[in-house]
Chains A and B, each alone.
Chain A
């Protein structure tokens, strides 16, 4: 029923804390150009554009996508913007997928950018995602939200601070081979454990940076994709799942799922895997680009994606199960711990996964990547997206 859809071009800017040399829309344009160049296409070839932008309060411009539209070639074309918090890039790519899969458009550009450090304190903006009467005053933000989940995972499964630190060690090591990554310096377990405590158990090096930069992917329908790219990254499966906003509802007898776990990611992945014909993810997925803004979140994610049973994420990482060269290799790009330009981070995961499948990941390239998974997460750990990419159109 749906047409095959592939990623035929990918563009991303180097991610840095500040980009005083580029406005938000210039970052978006640069990314769009890079993706189109890779595909050998121009803005004229694009049928529709999806803009990926999370809380624009970070940029200080209401409906900033309108300000960016001309810069990404959208004037006079179908244009819309997706915003699902941190999952935005994943949802935006799926929106683009549906535009092509439905038969509406043949070539769609998905593009966005962020300048997270443009605002003096990003967490003050992220505090505004919470309820103004009951929650904002207790200074909930994105960091302590994830810390709660980390505490619960540790209490439930015995995950340790050392295990969290090892996730950071692996990610940083991987990022040394990714020229786009924001943080590219290796780090040791001791250095992570000794870094400044931000919100127990999360220390500075357990946390993502505030990054500025842009990302774009070009999607094309089956026959076009084959004309455009030598080795397209076919979108074999997509899925999303939204769980409750109320973290407290994920505890206790009436809970659908526990806050330690990411059952909602498992559901999103289940749909994507089913579409892709993946039945044994631990064996069939070569690369997993996981949106994990904190070390603890990656441990929950590898369990939810079915790579290891619940609670086993820490020990598996201890054993080097997710090191590059293994199946799956997790975050060979360095992942979100090494770059988090919030509006597009989930799109960057897709871009990095696509590059691996296309054989264009440069120094970070792993051999024989038949299939990759990319995830996104947003809101109160509530919005989850999952995309399966592979060398063949059919799953």
Chain B
């Protein structure tokens, strides 16, 4: 298997509403990634994008948007899975030896679309849609099941919110949401039992891109991050059959990524994790699925993470609760992970990060990419 490096990253600011067009956002992120990599568009031989027609409001969104990611007269393909999958397909293409340098980009302008309505259209039309299933309801059902096992975990859930909101406020790329205390989080109204408004990320607009290359060269050489491992999996859509209190697909994706990277003890061998905090409880479940703690220890880890006493560091960028939820979430997480292993994350840099994990998820699909610094 050929070695592949992330040689450049780029992301727009993640804001509740960006006045610019989708193409402008994608172009900004992709240009920034290419500049960061010291790569010109002529050196790119592959472009992979991850985008959703319904979220973009067009029946084949890549028809218009792929060019902003550099696809003109290139070998290009689009996935509809969330952002991190673009990097995974870019990795597969370069690792195969058929391509040397791939752009991977993802985006969404959630301010322009009725995201909840779109989510409800994903529910099976025969049995689930009439019940009012949507993404938020699924998060709430999972949360309810987790709390049935672990107790209400009020402080731990509020700790996740407070931690990520505080981190987001310190991240220059993040949404202009102010920090929130645990007490404020607990006073937030319940929107879908047991989840409160503050426990579910608010949507945002933005785009992210990375450059994947077989050979870091020039300015990219010193700052390239090696892709050490990756994995992805989908969980069952039959919720009545699923273990709702566990993210089994994430366990599988992580297992594959760890195996590939030679990681046997993630708590000790991974320095930083940028995971998808789809809800406060989702983050607790992710700790357990990623092996960052034992199954019953998730809430305890959340409290320790708020007090800043944890390794690996968790969501120092603020995650989705801190920056806003985006279809590009996992790719944003990868950008952050690469910045961290490079020592280039600025105000929210965590000291001594050699190995970082990026996680992206949408519905029951989970993807994990592990990067290592090459310094």
Contact = CB atoms under 8 A, between A and B. Distances in A.
13 contacts: A61-B121, A62-B118, A66-B363, A67-B122, A75-B237, A84-B77, A85-B63, A101-B97, A102-B97, A129-B59, A131-B64, A240-B77, A243-B73
Contact of A79 (B96, B124, B365): B365
B60 A85 contact: yes
B35 interface: no
Interface residues of A, number: 64
A117 B62 CA distance: 24
Contact of B235 (A75, A91, A378): A75
Interface of B: 1-2, 47, 52-54, 57-60, 62-64, 66-67, 71-81, 85, 88-89, 91-93, 95-98, 118-119, 121-122, 124-125, 231-238, 248-249, 252-253, 256, 363-365
B76, B98, B121: most-surrounded residue (chain A CB, <10 A): B98
Interface stretch (A38-46, A49-57, A288-296, A326-334): A49-57
B89 A98 contact: yes
Q: Main SS of chain B's interface residues?
A: mixed
A378 B63 CA distance: 9
A158 interface: no
A63 B364 CA distance: 12
Nearest to B129: A61
Contact of A60 (B85, B88, B125, B233): B125
Contacts of B119: 62
Interface in A19-66: 53-57, 60-66
A244 B58 CA distance: 17
Nearest to B4: A102
A84 B89 CA distance: 14
Contacts of B122: 61-64, 66-67
Given A67-B122, A129-B58, A271 B75 contact: yes
B74 A241 contact: yes
B74 to A, nearest CB: 6
Contacts, number: 180
A64 B237 CA distance: 11
A242 interface: yes
A245 B97 contact: no
A104 interface: yes
A256 B98 CA distance: 25
A245 B232 CA distance: 32
Nearest to B45: A271
A129 B249 CA distance: 33
Nearest to A91: B77
Contacts of B363: 63, 66
A98, A104, A275: most-surrounded residue (chain B CB, <10 A): A98
A128 interface: yes
A55 B77 contact: no
B121 A62 contact: yes
A27 to B, nearest CB: 15
Contacts of A77: 233-234, 252
A271 B76 CA distance: 13
A82 B63 contact: no
Interface in A75-99: 75-85, 91, 94-95, 97-99
Interface of A: 1-2, 53-57, 60-67, 69-70, 74-85, 91, 94-95, 97-99, 101-104, 125-126, 128-129, 131-132, 238-245, 256, 264, 267-268, 271, 275, 378-380, 382-383
Given A85-B63, A98-B89, A79 B233 contact: yes
A379 B59 contact: no
Given A91-B77, A129-B58, A69 B92 contact: no
Nearest to A385: B77
Contacts of B78: 82-84, 91
Contacts of A56: 53
B89 to A, nearest CB: 6
Nearest to A74: B234
Contacts of B97: 1-2, 101-102
A242 B71 contact: yes
B73 A267 contact: yes
Contact of A95 (B62, B77, B124, B232): B77
B60 A70 contact: no
A80 B85 contact: yes
A79 B232 contact: yes
Given A62-B119, A69-B237, A243-B72, A81 B80 contact: yes
B92 A61 contact: no
Given A81-B79, A83-B78, A243-B72, A76 B248 contact: yes
A249 B308 CA distance: 55
Contacts of B234: 66, 69, 74-79
Contacts of A78: 231-234, 253, 256
B6 to A, nearest CB: 16
A98 B96 contact: yes
A29 to B, nearest CB: 14
Contacts of B364: 66, 69
B60 A76 contact: no
B354 to A, nearest CB: 24
Nearest to B54: A62
Q: Which 8 A-B pairs have the closest CB atoms?
A: A1-B97, A62-B121, A128-B59, A102-B95, A101-B96, A79-B234, A98-B92, A102-B96
Nearest to A104: B92
A81 B81 contact: yes
Contact of B124 (A53, A67, A245): A67
B265 to A, nearest CB: 24
Contacts of B80: 53, 63, 65, 81-83
A241 B75 contact: yes
B85, B89, B92, B248: most-surrounded residue (chain A CB, <10 A): B92
A100 B158 CA distance: 44
Contacts of B85: 80
A198 to B, nearest CB: 20
B62 A84 contact: yes
Contacts of A275: 98
A193 to B, nearest CB: 32
A65 B58 CA distance: 18
B22 to A, nearest CB: 12
B308 to A, nearest CB: 35
A60, A66, A378, A382: most-surrounded residue (chain B CB, <10 A): A66
